[in-house]
């Protein structure tokens, strides 16, 4: 190639070779605390079950609030 010559552009854009994979806001090892709404690690010590579903909490206090009145924090679908 002679000096000063333009190189041929890549016919395939970068996006085509490396597609972006979108991740969900919730990772499999994370959950939303239904009492305060923050994202927490799934810790079995800070968990409670209600209607067959496991909920995870940021603290014992939030877990205890949930256990006293789960309907207050869970929206029925």
Q: For the whole prediction, is pTM greater than 0.75?
A: no
Residue 55, judged by CB atoms within 10 A of its CB (0-12, 13-18, 19+), counts as buried
Alpha helices in the chain (DSSP H): 14-17, 60-68
Alpha-carbon torsion 38, 40, 46, 52, what sign? positive
- Which tokens hold the place of 68? 């006293």
The alpha carbon dihedral of 62, 63, 67, 68 has a sign of negative
pLDDT band at 60 (very low <50, low <70, confident <90, very high): very high
Amino acid 2: pLDDT: 59
> For 6-53, what is each residue's pLDDT tens digit?
666 655 555 555 555 555 555 679 999 999 999 999 999 999 999 999
More confident residue, 70 or 16: 70
Residue 4 has what pLDDT? 64
């Amino acid at each position: 190639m002679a000096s000063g010559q333009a190189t041929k552009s890549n016919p395939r854009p970068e996006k085509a070779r490396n597609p972006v994979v979108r991740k969900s806001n919730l990772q499999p090892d994370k959950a939303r605390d239904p009492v305060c709404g923050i994202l927490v690690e799934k810790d079995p010590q800070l968990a409670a079950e209600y209607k067959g579903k496991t909920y995870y909490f940021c603290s014992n206090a939030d877990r205890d609030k949930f256990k006293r009145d789960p309907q207050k924090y869970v929206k029925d679908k």
